[in-house]
Structure 1
Amino acid sequence: GYQFTPFLRGDITGEYRYSTGLRGSEYYKGPDFDNGLGSYGVNKSSGNFDSAVVLANAYFDLGTWYGITPFIGGGVGYAFNHVSSYSTNQQFTSPTYGYDYANPIYGCGCGQPSYNYAPVYDANGNAVYNTNSGSKFYKDKTSGSLAWALHAGLAYNVTDALKIELAYRYLNLGKAETGPGFVPCCTGSLQAIKIKDIEAHDVKIGLRY
């Protein structure tokens, strides 16, 4: 870093943010059927995220009282965001349909009965539902994104040259995405999953000389 004036200073920082788990759930309702029965589903996703970040920062010291200097600042830079081991499990629940063999319909087909294709109900009159599930997997990918930060904190003068610092930082890592997705035993690929507005809230304590 460098002290430009008694109140203005700056530095260039580099850091690696180690793997963090990604978790997400998406709930939705499917189509409603003519008989009033509906369907619904849930997608549950998981994966890992890590990032390498470089920032150019500027800080403005607001003054010193009793050896304590409050400061604010901001930074801008670039993040290399890596998404790995990302997968989605989908579960879709809908009414069970079958032919109503208990109520044959006559009048066509050369005297042969036909049957309605209708929802299945249990002995208590409740509709029977079935759940289908499947998984999608996505390739790992590293992508670059604009990163920026906001800083605020307090510095205490241990000596004229040495300060101990307590600071808060809001860090926006931009966006990331997976590689193409695939379903086991199927051909073709799926569209990548995009992740926006990746944020971090950091509390830091350290020494500044």
Structure 2
Amino acid sequence: MTLSAISAMCGILAAPVAIATPNEELGLYGSIKAAQTSQRVSDMEDSLRPAGAVLPQETKQEFVNGSFGLGYQFGAGWRAEVEYTLPQKQEYTSDVAGRFRGSLNHHEVDAQRMMANAYYDLPVKENIAVFASAGLGWAKVKSSGWQGNVARQFESKTVNNLAYSVGAGVTYSPVKKISLDLGYRYVDMGRIESGLNNFANARGLRDENMKAKLVSHEIYVGARYRF
């Protein structure tokens, strides 16, 4: 086999590698994300409300949130990062069946999280790849609120839950060291609850609180810089 033939064969074998290289530069990177978030609560019916069945009212809030992270590009398509998502305070309401109908519970939820995320990038053409992601970490959620009017407060309670996420998206590297991401992820932050009622109810007892399961659907744009 001639030297020219060997060179040509090496060029053919190297071509797929050239497509895979834009996101393969090894080392540390920093990241920021801005996410259009649809945060939702469910299972509000599990709240303590002896006066009657709990009827969920407002169960979804839309807002923009941000996060930042520090990661490492391992090569072969794999990267991992630690990400902190900024706290956001939202409010959800529920009612009660029976003679106390209309005495709404206002569940104020203040959530933040720290996650360890893993990504796998699959190149589709030069400078462009699709990715899948999964994350596991910690969600800190403070629950408080009131019933009927703001003078009738529930005690505040903070829970620290195991959180997880799954997602997918596309990444583009316009220049060396910079990557731009567009993705979606589902985040489950577990069950949350407020403290007991800090006001006198009709029974003269502290036997009420607010409970829910907290998740979010996020569409995000992000940027990464490889150091």
Counterpart-to-counterpart distance in 1, 2:119 and 2:103 = 44
Contact 1:182–1:188 (8 Å) recurs in 2: no
Bigger share in helix: 2
Q: Is 1:4 aligned to 2:20, yes or no?
A: no
Residue 20 (structure 1) shift? 0.8
Contact 1:182–1:190 (8 Å) recurs in 2: no
Who is 1:80 aligned against?
Answer: 140
Who is 2:26 aligned against?
Answer: none
Residue 40 (structure 1) shift? 8.7
Q: Is 1:65 aligned to 2:81, yes or no?
A: no
Residues 158-177 of structure 1 aligned to structure 2 (within 5 Å): 158-177=174-193
The two structures have a TM-score, normalised by structure 1, of: 0.65
Residue 162 (structure 1) shift? 1.1
What per-residue deviation string (whole Å, max 9, x for no partner) do you get for residues 181-201 of structure 1?
1433875412432212x1111
Indicate the structure whose relative CO is greater, using CA pairs within 8 Å and at least 6 residues apart.
2
The two structures have a TM-score, normalised by structure 2, of: 0.60
**Which letter does structure 1 place at the counterpart of 2:86?**
Y
Counterpart-to-counterpart distance in 1, 2:187 and 2:113 = 10
Residue 21 (structure 1) shift? 1.4
**Which letter does structure 2 place at the counterpart of 1:193?**
M
Gaps of 5+ in 2: 1-70
Q: Is 1:193 aligned to 2:214, yes or no?
A: no
Who is 2:84 aligned against?
Answer: 14
Contact 2:183–2:219 (8 Å) recurs in 1: yes
Residue 57 (structure 1) shift? 0.6
Contact 1:14–1:53 (8 Å) recurs in 2: yes
Counterpart-to-counterpart distance in 2, 1:170 and 1:43 = 33
Contact 1:149–1:170 (8 Å) recurs in 2: yes
Contact 2:95–2:101 (8 Å) recurs in 1: no
Percent of matched pairs sharing the same residue: 26
Contact 2:200–2:206 (8 Å) recurs in 1: no
Q: How many residue pairs were aligned? A: 153
Who is 1:48 aligned against?
Answer: 108
- Larger Rg over CA atoms: 1
Gaps of 5+ in 1: 31-38, 90-134
**Which letter does structure 2 place at the counterpart of 1:87?**
W
Contact 2:141–2:160 (8 Å) recurs in 1: yes
RMSD between superposed Cα atoms in Å:
2.5
